[in-house]
Amino acid sequence: MCARSSNDLRPGSIVVVLGTRPEIIKLGHIIRMLGPAATVVHTGQHYDQVLSESFLESFRLRDPDVHLGVGGKSRGTQIGEAVAELDGFLANSGASCLVVQGDTNAALAGALAANARETPLVHVEAGLRSRDRRMPEEHNRVLIDHLGDLLCAPTNVAAQNLLEEAIPDSRVAVTGNTVVEAVEEALPGSEEQRALVAEHGLEPEAFVLSTFHRPENVDDPGRFNTLIEDLRSLDHPVLVPLHPRSRSRLQEFGLSDHLGNIRVVAPMGYRDFLALAAAAAYLVSDSGGVQEEVSVLKKPVIVVRRSTERPEVLGTFARLCEPGEVGEVVADWLRDPSEIHEQLRATPSPYGDGSASAQIVQRIEELVGA
Ligand code: UDP
């Protein structure tokens, strides 16, 4: 652990635990609104320039107050070490509550540590369910929700999932998803979008942006290769900001030579990524956050996953498929992307109106009696 210790924690401080880029994106506004009341702990699950630092900068956030440095280890070790470190940090800290977001190992560690220290727990983006027990994230979500005291569900669908698991209504608030305000703030204007597209040698609305890093797609060489073949067979040029996890698997499986005409670049900062997503013909991704962002950007995404915990966008902004099926989905849905863009422009995002962070901060203040 480095930086501040719990002795430096202000009494009544709101401890925000995060560890990956989506957590920074979705907690950024909340942390800024809490101001000096927040103490930010980064577990180190993803701590490097491309996956964390540039995202802190995008949201004008200061460096985390505490770094635990538990990244790069097995899931159990990461969770165990982060719980132990957080437990020490919370001991006698007088923290008024602990906030986590989503379904990462960092979020589960925060939830377990809060529970062990009888610190009220707030879960941002509660109630998502894929019902797919093969995904570690599904176990993380369920456990966090059952430990949580204030569960901020992004939609009524998510709130309903919680009620069906016998979680009392009094712990649940439907707030919208903070991704809406994150996209609204970070998305560059159309001129900057065009310049960026040109920098990559691409034409607006005539390329595909693709991201993938989930174990189900990249940990099996056969499935990973099938996904690469899917992307190679598309009519439009494909741009892939490659996640470090996928890059190592690609090298490990000797698949780097199979990329053909796919343009692989380093992971991008949030502004650049959103600009390219907004200018793409469509996206192909296994990301959770991208499924939500496209509903604000009004772009279609083909989700290469067995299941999704975000059913709200299925049939409008998103279609699900397995590796090997991307071409079929394009043929069936995206033969004329501009027609789909027009339909989507008239389709509201199911994730709210950009006020989720403000609503969540208000609920947190009520919880801690501020
Ligand atoms: N993203 C980004 N740069 C990239 C690729 C993705 O900023 O090069 C953003 C993307 O907009 C989304 C988030 O990172 O908000 C997705 O992260 P990831 O796929 O790691 O996590 P998930 O959303 O699946 O939890």
So what's the pLDDT on residue 62?
87
Do 30 and 165 fall within a single domain? Answer: yes
Do 158 and 260 fall within a single domain? Answer: no
Do 215 and 301 fall within a single domain? Answer: yes
Do 129 and 222 fall within a single domain? Answer: no
CATH of the domain at 325: 3.40.50.2000
DSSP for 11-68, written as a single string? TT-EEEEE-SHHHHHHHHHHHHHHGGGEEEEE--TT-SIIIIIHHHHHTTPPPPSEE-
Do 206 and 103 fall within a single domain? Answer: no
Predicted TM-score (pTM) of the model is 0.95
Share of the chain above pLDDT 70, in %: 96
User: If you take atom 14 of ligand 1, which residue's CA is the nearest one?
Assistant: 22
Please choose, from the candidates 277, 286, 300, the residue with its C-alpha nearest in 3D space to the C-alpha of residue 243.
Answer: 286
Residue 219 belongs to some domain of the structure: yes
> How many whole angstroms separate alpha carbon 32 and alpha carbon 58?
12
Q: How many Cα atoms within 13 Å fall on the side-chain side of residue 296?
A: 23
123 forms beta bridges with 100, 151
Where would I find the beta strands (DSSP E) of the chain? 2-3, 14-18, 38-42, 66-67, 97-101, 121-124, 150-153, 172-174, 208-211, 238-241, 263-265, 282-285, 301-304, 318-321
Give, rounded to a whole angstrom, the gap between the first and last alpha carbons of the chain. 29
So what's the pLDDT on residue 9?
63
Residue 270 belongs to some domain of the structure: yes
- Is 98 within 8 Å of 121 (Cβ atoms)? yes
Token pair in block for residue 154: 């992004």
Do 197 and 300 fall within a single domain? Answer: yes
Helices 105-116 and 136-147 pack at an angle, to 10 degrees, of 30
Average pLDDT of the chain is 94
Do 216 and 338 fall within a single domain? Answer: yes
- Is 70 within 8 Å of 82 (Cβ atoms)? yes
Instruction: Determine the average pLDDT of the residues in 109-116.
Output: 98
* CA 291 – ligand 1 centroid, Å: 10
Please classify residue 277 by burial: count the beta carbons closer than 10 Å to its beta carbon, then call 0-12 exposed, 13-18 middle and 19+ buried: buried
So what's the pLDDT on residue 55?
84
> Confidence band (pLDDT; 50, 70, 90) for 86?
very high
So what's the pLDDT on residue 154?
98
> Confidence band (pLDDT; 50, 70, 90) for 283?
very high
Ligand 1 pocket, mutate which of 287, 292, 299, 317 (most atoms under 8 A from CB): 287
Distance of CA 84 to the CA centre of its chain: 25
Residue 330 belongs to some domain of the structure: yes
Instruction: Determine the average pLDDT of the residues in 269-284.
Output: 97
Output phi, psi for 301, to 5 deg: -130, 135
Instruction: Determine the average pLDDT of the residues in 271-278.
Output: 97
Q: Which residues line ligand 1 (CB under 6 A)?
A: 21-22, 25, 211, 213, 241, 267-268, 270, 273, 287-290, 293
Token pair in block for residue 276: 């390219």
Check if 213 is active-site.
yes
Token pair in block for residue 293: 């962002």
So what's the pLDDT on residue 8?
57
Atom of ligand 1 nearest to the CA of 211: 5
* CA 170 – ligand 1 centroid, Å: 32
Residue among 29, 42, 46, 213 flagged as catalytic: 213
Token pair in block for residue 185: 């703030």
Do 290 and 358 fall within a single domain? Answer: no
Share of the chain above pLDDT 90, in %: 89
Please choose, from the candidates 43, 55, 48, the residue with its C-alpha nearest in 3D space to the C-alpha of residue 15.
Answer: 43
Do 173 and 190 fall within a single domain? Answer: no
Range of the domain at 105: 6-178+354-368
Residue 210 belongs to some domain of the structure: yes
Residue 1 belongs to some domain of the structure: no
Do 169 and 243 fall within a single domain? Answer: no
Residue 331 belongs to some domain of the structure: yes
Residue 234 belongs to some domain of the structure: yes
Residue with tokens 């299925």: 314
Helices 270-279 and 190-199 pack at an angle, to 10 degrees, of 90
Do 256 and 205 fall within a single domain? Answer: yes
Residues 39-54 pLDDT 10s:
999 999 876 666 677 8
> Confidence band (pLDDT; 50, 70, 90) for 324?
very high
User: How many separate domains does the chain show?
Assistant: 2
More confident residue, 45 or 98: 98
Residue 287 belongs to some domain of the structure: yes
Do 271 and 202 fall within a single domain? Answer: yes
Q: Which of the 8 DSSP states describes residue 62? A: P
Residues 206-252 pLDDT 10s:
999 999 999 999 999 999 999 999 999 999 999 999 999 999 999 99
Residues 145-182 pLDDT 10s:
999 999 999 999 999 999 999 999 999 999 999 999 99
So what's the pLDDT on residue 1?
54
